[in-house]
Structures are given as structure tokens and as C-alpha cells.
Amino acid sequence: MIIVLRPEAPPEAAERLLTRIADAGLKPLHMPGAERVVLGALGDERVLAELALDGDPDVESVKPILAPYKLVSRELQAHDTIVRVGGVPFGGSAFQVVAGPCAVETRDQLRATAEAVKAAGASALRAGAYKPRTSPYGFNGHGPAALDLLRETGDALGLPVITEVMDTADVERVAERADALQIGTRNMQNFSLLRAAGRAGRPVVLKRGMSAKIEELLLAAEYLMASGNDQVILCERGIRTFEPATRNTLDLNAIPYIKLKTHLPVIVDPSHGTGIRELVTPMSLAAAACGADGLLIEVHENPPAAWSDGAQSLYPEQFAALMESLRAVARAVGRTLP
Amino acid sequence: MIIVLRPEAPPEAAERLLTRIADAGLKPLHMPGAERVVLGALGDERVLAELALDGDPDVESVKPILAPYKLVSRELQAHDTIVRVGGVPFGGSAFQVVAGPCAVETRDQLRATAEAVKAAGASALRAGAYKPRTSPYGFNGHGPAALDLLRETGDALGLPVITEVMDTADVERVAERADALQIGTRNMQNFSLLRAAGRAGRPVVLKRGMSAKIEELLLAAEYLMASGNDQVILCERGIRTFEPATRNTLDLNAIPYIKLKTHLPVIVDPSHGTGIRELVTPMSLAAAACGADGLLIEVHENPPAAWSDGAQSLYPEQFAALMESLRAVARAVGRTLP
Amino acid sequence: MIIVLRPEAPPEAAERLLTRIADAGLKPLHMPGAERVVLGALGDERVLAELALDGDPDVESVKPILAPYKLVSRELQAHDTIVRVGGVPFGGSAFQVVAGPCAVETRDQLRATAEAVKAAGASALRAGAYKPRTSPYGFNGHGPAALDLLRETGDALGLPVITEVMDTADVERVAERADALQIGTRNMQNFSLLRAAGRAGRPVVLKRGMSAKIEELLLAAEYLMASGNDQVILCERGIRTFEPATRNTLDLNAIPYIKLKTHLPVIVDPSHGTGIRELVTPMSLAAAACGADGLLIEVHENPPAAWSDGAQSLYPEQFAALMESLRAVARAVGRTLP
Amino acid sequence: MIIVLRPEAPPEAAERLLTRIADAGLKPLHMPGAERVVLGALGDERVLAELALDGDPDVESVKPILAPYKLVSRELQAHDTIVRVGGVPFGGSAFQVVAGPCAVETRDQLRATAEAVKAAGASALRAGAYKPRTSPYGFNGHGPAALDLLRETGDALGLPVITEVMDTADVERVAERADALQIGTRNMQNFSLLRAAGRAGRPVVLKRGMSAKIEELLLAAEYLMASGNDQVILCERGIRTFEPATRNTLDLNAIPYIKLKTHLPVIVDPSHGTGIRELVTPMSLAAAACGADGLLIEVHENPPAAWSDGAQSLYPEQFAALMESLRAVARAVGRTLP
């Protein structure tokens, strides 16, 4: 329920009503706005009805939140949330590009790639320390050692660091080293991991499951927010369809649709979304044009030698050229690259 | 096969080789270029091999066309084809917007909508005279009377007219009235219709089947070209996936991918591709950003009163605003709106 | 609307009411049952309401048909329709197997295969005279000559003949030669072809579009019935999904679901539904177990030499073994093989 | 690699070769057969090549395992694996039915349902203690208390117990109480959970991810086997497609396909595979007919009162009737119900 207070309601009315909500076993929310104070109450609808808050003299109106997700919904919060990753804001007028190799391979590979993306204008560094692999015999990341290299490299270059966490047992360790945790496509409905990430005190980049409906993505984000984390960045990374020409089908429809439904920022991963290097640049520009708040791009200092995802990784000079093109498109839709 | 002649080959060499190709029962192609003459030979690979053209003194090299589509392939023709619809070029540096109502309802509705899209900068008029309907009880178009209205309206406003043909028996009639024929998503593999449209002497806008792989779309275009029509415009209009939030999933990956594989122009229909009015503008901008050659957009003078597709039709003022935004994005990627 | 007459209503009541329905511009339907006479009225719901048939003294009740398809719906006709193809009944207690090669290649190939499937117990012969091919350069059937061979072979062996028609212009010719017309997966929403086939005076086997929802299949059948043809057999043949291991994903869920919704018989094509010879037998047994009324199976006297679909065609001895297994499974679910 | 020893090779040859394989850092496998001893070696292909085992005098042949999965492949083990869950064999000639409620709700509900399925002939009991829920606000199971109730009920009725584990942290606890662990569709690529379940010393029922290719399912099973667990039962439970009529599209093609590729048993969950009670019985029969080794079925003593999945749960009397029908179909394909 969304409870809108009357303009003339005294400040203590909010407090009084929040206590009533909490006493009834419901989750109270306080959202003071510029013109009006709005409260929220989440939980059993019948208990909510019994409270009869619409009869309270300080209450102007009570409306249900129609969406199955609540905290995530624009019904509850109309204005955009800005999420800060190590000081870099996602969700405002700036368009942020996060770039880096698929995996941390060696100190030199990471450093060379990080320097290249920093020089071209990237806002943050991405690279995998823990790699989900379809086969148990694939390279699955250097783990803690890679986390240390990421921190060291990020600090040296002044780039915030984003990396994937796959196991509840690793959440704390990753949260100590990284500026934001990434939840991968295969774990979007790993609810234990979502709950643990929700309590980790770090922003979370939540990737859409490869066959997740948008509503399911928003409900996965609701898990994070309901666990106490309101620093959530959504990420469209392509869905699974019948089309074999591309690795996935990047669903850019999702960007403006998500923007209608939620206040959270949303970024796009055209590398996994296409799987083809030649498509990364045009789809990055398309993402900027349709309203995304940023990109997550795989760049490698030497793609043919990459241990994974070489075919979709940009060469550093391609990335630099992409950043130039992005500047023009972002400007055309009223956004700026930092 | 692609047969590249030596720079010093005399002009009659091409003629001689084309005769040999034709005499062997194969389809000969002549593609004189600025620097070099290139010939093509389509048909049974074994017959081709027996010709042993690579031993001919005027032949520099013989290469197979690896793609299953031939005439459509960039392997055969590297430069972009420009298709002219009533004088309007698709596939060059201009970005063309085709707009109009889903269906021709009345003379006034068509005229009012056509005037609005013309005023905002549309290059051509679209509207359905024959409507494919999932149910036999739906409105299926005014047929020939609508064709006459379309012609009259197009002539009055100086707008070329594009409209769908669904039946082989109607191809001639539609070709008499319209500047380009449209083959709809449900008929992309109606091979009889493709063959008839290939012989109609009009450009064809070929929409991707809602579950067609890109390769199948290109093979459907090959039907048109193999029937003698090289004036083909491809159109991405959304594919069928598991996602119910949008009517279809607009597959913009297809745009740069198609541009890699074929020399034909490709446009995007964000109205059917999303099914949601609020998504048409952002996805139009995305289409322009990723390299499409134009758009096909549903606009209605009064969407709530539309007989079909009202929920995805733009209001005239929304369309005018879209054209403004498009101008900026097209410029950012080096294209111009006329 | 479904109009149920009172038990005591005189015979002339039905006639009187049907006239009122027709006079109002609606389509009247007469469905005399064992216990009660039921009438139907299809068309504009508002006109129907104005007739106020529920106030008529001979009318017991008036109910809307909730499904978007009407004539096809079990709401309108509760009992199963039996469709006879050259005397062979589809939809009753017998389980019918239609078999034959993908295409008519030669007189000998057709005859040898037909004899083999007849000997093993097939009820009817299938083979393509007109072949839809993804590429314009593929073998697309011998056309009229193949129709003659089919008729000749069917007559010689006493097997009804089922073959695909792809073009409105061919409907009459195919209807003269074949005992039933087949509408292929690519033409399920070729509405002109559906209307023509609906008027051809022959039973129609309607294959599900490869990305058609079940509701769309039933609406396509409604086109046939609304054009005057109540002899319609539905056919599940696999849908397009993300799974590349099989050519299509045979959707057997559709069989019991369709049986809930419509009175029309439904058969299964496991050859196209799987694309893999080794899977045809188990999926045929599964189809029989879940309630299908029959099968459509590709058999070739010599699959490795088949001009098309060799990998999914059964050898004659495999087909004979399948028929044995089918007998046992059909019996287990209360059906019989003729 | 698969290393086949010569018939005359002495027993110590196997030991000697396995030591060479292990010393080279590869995983050695010993598969003594009735006629011939077969060894396996998994790991880096280049190291394998350097061993040059095909030059060893006791070795007859060395063949690569072509599939990306190795331990799971029929190339490595041709005969069927039989997995025992609390004494009940899956994968042999018996067809096993696992049944029970979606979730453990109360002691009485569990007991009543368990008694009903036991009386009808079920081989094992299923019910959720930990429930994955799309929304954070749904009922997510009674956890440890439900595990105790499951153990108590299983012991009282002599039914082995199968239940889902969602979190690495719970694996040990669930393995103490249940006879087999279930990995759910959302966790099929939760690789940490797979590794933990692989070490838990209990059989595992691995459900196919709702958008997992069959190859990915087999690679997930490879994770379990590579972690030391060869007691794996695969489960097809429906995939996500464009079809909205059913909750999922049960992919029965997968059953015979999986049987071609792997020696592991495979069962079918028609409850989630259809989501519609009326479809559970026909699809169960279809599963038995196409070669599945068993079923996983939701039954509730009172489906309308179920806390979850009521619409797809069978009434006890429906389940009893299903078991009767299953007996007949299983017999028709040479299987027996215990």
C-alpha cells in the first residue's frame, strides 16, 4: 500500500502511522517528498485492510501497489534512483561505461586492458575472478588472487571495480575487495545468493536471467531490496531465443519498458548480448539511444589470446572508437559521457 | 561461383564466359565494377566444377559463394544496393521514415494521418488495404477501394505508397496502385507469393517472419531476387519469444548482422516490434543508432478510435516529436533525414 | 451465442429462431442433439444482444461462446467430430497412421514405399507433390505429375491420399486428385489459402505453424470452418524453441490441451517434430499414449537416397516394427489400430 | 580418452596404465567389463597425446570422447546406470513414480498425501522443505522442521524421500534427512551447489533448467559426476517457449535423445511440465511410452487448499487412476510398475 499524507499533516503523523504499520507486523516505509509525505506498507493485504488507514485524519489517500514487485516499483518511488559505485553515479544524466576483460588472466593482461579502457573514458573496471562455466573442465577463474589483482589495479588507476560473485560463501570476501557485486545470468534466481548480496553493503549489478521475463528480473531485484539493499543496477544481457546467428538476442525493448516500471538504473551488456565483436559497437549505440544508463563491455588487450570470450571482446582501439561514437549518440539523447 | 576476370581481359571475354555458363544450364550474372569485371554463376555445383572456369586464360580467380543465399549475399555484391520507392532512395546515406495508419479506414482518416506524417517529415505513406487477421471475424481491410484511396492520397501529398499484399491473385492489382509491395510476417515463407511479387516490377518490403531465423529471411529475399526483382527492402519487426511484456521482441541485433551479410537495405518496424506506444520512440532511436536504413511506423490521427493496433499507434504530435529526436540521432551516426 | 431450446419446444421453433438470426445478419447454426436442440448465432455481439433471444418462450438459455474460436470450440459442440478421408475415419476409437515419403520422387520410389507402409498397416498415404523449400534452389516437387502418380498409387493399393497444397491457384487441382489437402506449417496463417481450402470440398489436414500458439492454430481452423468446411484434422508437428539438439520441439502438451478445447481430431507428425530417425518411434508411442488420433510419418524405401528429409525418414522395417509397438500402446489407452 | 585393453592384457596392465595416467596429472577411470577392460583418462588433450598410450603393448585402441561431457556419456559407459534411492532402483526395467505435495505444509497434510500415494503404488515421496519463489513475499518452505517431518513420514510408510536443496549451506543438513537431493530448475547451473551436492554422498535428482539445452543439462550432470557422485537421475520438467497455454512446454523429445547420449536414468515431471491438472495424466502416459524411467508428480490431499501449485496437483483418486493407466502403458513398452 502507498499511503499519501495530507499536505497539512503534522510531522509526527508519519511517525505515528509508521508505528501502527510496524505494530501490525507489516514492513513500514518512509518516503518524504518535496511536496507530500508518502508512506508504504508491505505485507499481508488483509492485515493492511484491517488497519483502515484511509480513515485516518492525516491520510489523504491509500492506494495498492499493483505490481507484484513493490520496493522496486515506480508506483512506490516515482523519481530515478542513483546508485553510486565507488563514487561513480549510475542512473542520472551521465552515461557510464564499465569495461574490461572477461576474466582476470594475469596482472599484466589486467593492467594493460584497464589502462586502455581508462584512457578511452571508461568509468569503471569489470573482470571475472570467479567464472561460471558450462563445463566442469573449463577455466573457472583465479578466485581470491584475482580479487586482489582487481583491487590493486582499480586503486592504481582510480577505477571502481565490479566483479561477479557466484557463491554465498564468497559474498563477504568479494564485498571486501570490489566496489560492486555482480550477480550473473545463471544466478538471477539463486535466491540464497540474492539474500546474501542484499545484506553485503555493496551495490549490486543484477543481470537478467537468459530466459527470465522482465517481471522476474524485477522480482529478483525486489529480493535484493527486501534484504535491505537499495543500491541495485539492472543489466540486460540478451535472452535465449530460436535465433542461432547471435549468441543471445539482446532485448533492447526491455530498456524503455524497465524504465517505465522501476526507478532503478539499467545498463546493457552488448558483448554477451550479441557474442560477435562486429555487433558490439552498433548495439552499444542503440542501447544509449533507447535510454540505457550505461554499458558493460568486454575489452581485451589481445582478444585472439583471451582465455574466454575472445570472439566478443573488443580490441582497445575499437573500444576507443566506440567511446567517440557513444559521445555523439549520448549527446543526441540528452545524456553525457563523463 | 564468383568469377573474377583478369584486369587485362578483353570486353568480349565476359560475354563469352556468360554464354558458356548459360549453355551449361546455369544462371549467368554480370557485375561490371570500377576496376574489375566480376561474373556469377548459380546452379548445380557439379556442373559448375565441370566448366573448369579457373583454367580460362581471362579468368583470374573462381570462388564459391559460401552463404546459402547467393544474389542477396555481400560475397557477390560488396556495395550497398539502393532501392527507390517512387523516387525515395532506401539504403544510401538518407534515413527514411515510412508512416501511416495500420489500416485504411476512411478517406478522411487516411488523409488526416497522411498530412500529419508528411508535415512531420515522413518519406512515404503506409496503410493496409488487405489486413491479415488471426481471427476470421476481424476487420480484414477494404481491399481494392482502399488501394484507390491510398493512390489518391499519395498522389495528392506527393508521398509514395507502400501496402501489403497477401494473395498471389492480388499482386497485379496492388502493383498497379502502390509504389512498393509489402510481404507480411505471416507470408515470409509463402513461396508462391514471393515468386509472384518477384515478377511484379515493383520494389518489395519483405518483413521477417515472426519466428524466422535471419538466414531464412535472406533466403526468402533470394526467392524475390531469383525471380528477377533486385529491389528488395528487408524489415525487422520483432520475433516471438517467451517474454510476454511486449507484443514481440524487436531483434535489433539483426540490423548490424544483416548489414554484414547482405547489400540490401533494412528497415525496422518498432510498432509491431514492441506493441506498446511508449516504446516506439526509444526503439526508433535505437534502430537509427545501430545502422538501420529507415523505419516503418504506425501513426493514427486518433489512436483510441483505431480499428486495429491502436495501442501501438503514435499520436501525430508524438510522431512529430519522434522525427525531431531522430534527426539528432541520425546525425550522430552520420545519416541524414531528408 | 449458444441458444439451448426448451425440451418441449416444437420443431418449428428452431426454424423460426434460425430465420430471426439470419434476418439480423448473423450466421445461424443448427445442432440438433439427442436430448435437446441447440442453435448457434455468430457475428456482432451487439446485434446478438438486441435480438433478446433469452426472452423467447421456446428458449431455455442463451450462453456466450467464450473462446475466440467458435465453430471449432467444444462449447458449441461437445462431442468429437469424426473426419473421413476417403472412407478412413479420424477422431473415433481407431488410431490412424498416415505414412509415406517426404516427396514423390519417382513412380517406383512411391510405389515401393506405399506398398511397404500398406503392408505394415498404414491407413493412408502421404507424399509431397509441391514442396515448400527454404531456398529457391532446392527441389520443390514434381507438381501435377506427382499428383497423378499419387492418385494412381493410392487407387492401386486402396490407400487414401493426403498431400500438401501451397498455392491458392493449385487448390482445385489438388482437390481433384487427393482425398485430403494438407496445409503446411509455413502456410497456417496464409488466410487466402485457408479460405480457398475451406471451399474445396475435401477434408483438410492443418499443420500447426512452427511458432503458432495453440489458440492461433484453432483460429486458423476456424477460418476453414467459417468457409464451410467442417472436415478439419489438426496436426502438431513441433514448434521452434531454443533447443538445437532436435529439429523442432514436438509439443505433445498440445494434444490433450487441444482435446479439451475442440471437437476436431488431432494427429502428430513426429518426423518433423524431432528430425531424428531414432526419435520417431518413441515419440509416436508417446503421441498415442497422450490421446492423439493418429500419426503422420515419413517413410522412405531407401532413406539415405531420399531427395529430402532422409535423416528423419524411417526404413520400411523400422516402420513395421513401430506399427507393432503402436498396437500395444494404443490398446493400453483404449484405442485400436485398424 | 577411452583406452581399450587387449583381451590378453594381464590384470596388472590396467593398474600400471592408470598410474601413468594419474602421474601425468589426468583423471584415471577404471571400467572393467565382461569381455574387455576399458580405461578412461580425462583432462588436457595435449598431455593425453604426449602419453602416447596407443603405443603401449597392452593397449588395443585409444579413442577420444567426442561429447563435451565425458563421465556422463554413453561413449564412456555403454550400459545403463541404475541409481538406488533408499533401495528403490531407477534406470532398470522398473518404472518408478515419485509423488507428493509441492510443499510440506503440515504434518497431517504430508501424512495424508503420503499415505494416498503409497496406497496407489508410488515408489518414493517428494515434497518441498525449501521452496524457490519468484517473489520474496511468497511462502518459501518450513526448512529444517519440514525435513524432520519428511524423514518421519518416509520412515513410517517405508517410502524413500526426495527433496530440493537450494543453498550450499543446507546440503549437509538435507543429505542427513533425505534419501536423495533434488537440484531445481533455477539452480541447474548453480555450479557451487552442484559441486557441493556432488560431494554429499546421496543420489541427486537434477532438473533441467527451464531454458537449458540438453547438452547443458548433461554438462551440469558432469559437474556432479566430476565431483565424485555417480548416482545422478536427470529430470525433464518443461522448457520455456512462446506458448502461453501451458505453464511450460514439456519436451518429451528430450527423453529418447538423452537415452541415446547418456547411461544415466531420466524421469519426467508432468506437473511443472504442463501446469494444468487435466494434462498431467496424458503426459505421464506419454512419458512412460517414450522411454522415461519414472515420474515426479505433485499430488495433494486437497488441491484447492494447497499453499502452492494447487492447479497442477492431482487429487488422490486421480493419482490412483493414473497409476492404473500407467501399469497398462508401461507393460506395453516392456516396463513394469513395482
Sheet containing strand C27-32, edge to edge, reads C27-32, C37-42, C2-5, C59-63
- Which grid coordinates are listed for A278? 562486429
- Looking at residue C34, its pLDDT comes to 67
- B23: Cβ contacts below 8 Å, ≥ 6 apart: none
- Contact in structure between B337 and B330 (CB atoms under 8 Å): yes
Contacts of C133 in chain B (CB under 8 A): 191
Contacts of D255 in chain C (CB under 8 A): 282
Element (H or E) spanning C234, and its range?
strand C232-236
Cβ atoms within 10 Å of D165's Cβ, excluding its own: 27
Alpha carbon A250 to chain centroid distance?
A: 16
Contacts of B222 in chain C (CB under 8 A): 135-136
Strand partners, D128: D103
Contacts of D246 in chain C (CB under 8 A): 253, 257
CA distance B262 to B236: 14
Cβ atoms within 10 Å of D65's Cβ, excluding its own: 17
Least confidently predicted of A69-83, C257-271, D21-35, D239-253 = D21-35
Binned at pLDDT 50, 70 and 90, residue A26 comes out as confident
User: Cβ of B245 under 8 Å from any chain D Cβ?
Assistant: no
Alpha carbon A4 to chain centroid distance?
A: 29
CA angle C283, A240, A194 (to 5 degrees): 115
C209 secondary structure, DSSP code: P
CA distance C111 to C108: 5
- A12: Cβ contacts below 8 Å, ≥ 6 apart: none
CA distance B101 to B84: 22
- Contact in structure between A95 and A335 (CB atoms under 8 Å): yes
**Is the predicted ipTM greater than 0.90, yes or no?**
yes
Residue-by-residue DSSP string for B92-153: SSB-EEEEE-SB---HHHHHHHHHHHHHHT-SEEE-BSS---SSTTS----THHHHHHHHHH
User: Cβ of C217 under 8 Å from any chain B Cβ?
Assistant: no
Phi and psi at residue B24, to the nearest 5°: -80, 5
Binned at pLDDT 50, 70 and 90, residue C117 comes out as very high
Contacts of C257 in chain D (CB under 8 A): 245-246, 276, 279
First and final CA of chain C: distance in angstroms? Answer: 38
Strand partners, D299: D314
Chains with 3+ CB–CB pairs under 8 A to D are: A, B, C
Cβ atoms within 10 Å of A56's Cβ, excluding its own: 18
Report the mean per-residue pLDDT for chain B.
94
Sheet containing strand D2-5, edge to edge, reads D27-32, D37-42, D2-5, D59-63
Is 80 exceeded by the pLDDT of residue C171? yes
CB atoms B240 and D242 under 8 Å: yes
Residue among D239, A250, D235, B243 at smallest CA distance from C240: D239
User: Which chain A residues in 246-265 lie under 8 Å from chain B, judged by CB atoms?
Assistant: 246, 249-257, 260
Count the alpha carbons within 13 Å of B58 in the hemisphere toward its beta carbon: 16
Q: What is the percentage of chain B residues whose pLDDT exceeds 70?
A: 99
CA distance B127 to B146: 9
Q: A-B interface: how many C-beta pairs under 8 angstroms?
A: 127
Mean pLDDT of all residues in A286-296:
98
Cβ atoms within 10 Å of B32's Cβ, excluding its own: 11
Residue B289's SS3 state is: helix
CA distance B28 to B284: 40
CA distance D338 to D324: 12
- Contact in structure between D104 and D114 (CB atoms under 8 Å): no
- Which grid coordinates are listed for A172? 563477504
User: Which contacts (CB < 8 Å, 24+ apart) does range A106-111 have?
Assistant: A107/A149, A107/A153, A109/A300, A109/A301, A109/A302, A110/A149, A110/A150, A110/A153, A111/A153, A111/A156
- Higher pLDDT: A84 or A135? It is A84
CA distance B248 to B241: 7
Phi-psi category of residue D315: left, alpha or beta, with phi > 0 → left and psi -120 to 50 → alpha:
beta
Residue in A with minimal Cα distance to B283:
A290
Residue among D310, D292, D290 at smallest CA distance from D301: D310
Residue among A270, A185, C210, A327 at smallest CA distance from B252: A270
Best of B42, B131, B134 to disrupt the C interface by mutation (most C CBs within 10 Å)?
Answer: B134
Q: Give the Å distances, CA to CA, from D251 to C239, C283, D257.
A: 11, 11, 10
Smallest Cβ–Cβ distance between D211 and the set A134, A190, A210 belongs to: A210
Smallest Cβ–Cβ distance between C279 and the set D256, D282, D289 belongs to: D256
CB atoms C289 and D282 under 8 Å: yes
- Looking at residue A34, its pLDDT comes to 67
CA distance C283 to D253: 7
User: Cβ of C169 under 8 Å from any chain B Cβ?
Assistant: yes
CA distance C29 to C19: 11
Element (H or E) spanning D332, and its range?
helix D316-332
CA distance A206 to A235: 6
Residue-by-residue DSSP string for B215-278: HHHHHHHHHHHHTT---EEEEE--B--S--SSSSB--TTHHHHHHHHBSS-EEE-HHHHH--HH
User: Cβ of A328 under 8 Å from any chain B Cβ?
Assistant: yes
User: What residue type is assigned to position B271 of the chain?
Assistant: S
Contacts of C242 in chain A (CB under 8 A): 211, 240-242
Cell 561429447 locates to: D67
Q: What is the percentage of chain A residues whose pLDDT exceeds 70?
A: 100
Contacts of B206 in chain C (CB under 8 A): none
Residue among B269, B256, B189 at smallest CA distance from B222: B189
- Looking at residue C249, its pLDDT comes to 98
Cell 506524417 locates to: B117
User: Cβ of B57 under 8 Å from any chain D Cβ?
Assistant: no
Helices of type H across D199-303: 214-226, 254-261, 270-274, 277-289
Task: Kindly tell me the sign of the dihedral angle through the C-alpha atoms of B140, B142, B144, B150.
Answer: negative
- Which grid coordinates are listed for D328? 497398462
CA distance B97 to C285: 53
Residue in D with minimal Cα distance to C281:
D290
Is 70 exceeded by the pLDDT of residue C174? yes
Q: B-C interface: how many C-beta pairs under 8 angstroms?
A: 74
> Model confidence over D191-202: pLDDT tens digits?
999 999 999 999
Residue in C with minimal Cα distance to B239:
C211
In chain D, which residues have pLDDT < 50? none
CB atoms B257 and A276 under 8 Å: yes
In chain B, which residues have pLDDT < 70? 34
Strand partners, C88: C85
B313 secondary structure, DSSP code: P
Distance from CA of C195 to the nearest CA of D (A): 25
Is 70 exceeded by the pLDDT of residue A43? yes
- Looking at residue B34, its pLDDT comes to 67
Mean pLDDT of all residues in A106-114:
97
User: Cβ of A136 under 8 Å from any chain D Cβ?
Assistant: yes
- Looking at residue A52, its pLDDT comes to 86
Contacts of C69 in chain B (CB under 8 A): 135
Cell 548459380 locates to: B42
Smallest Cβ–Cβ distance between C191 and the set B166, B210, B226 belongs to: B166
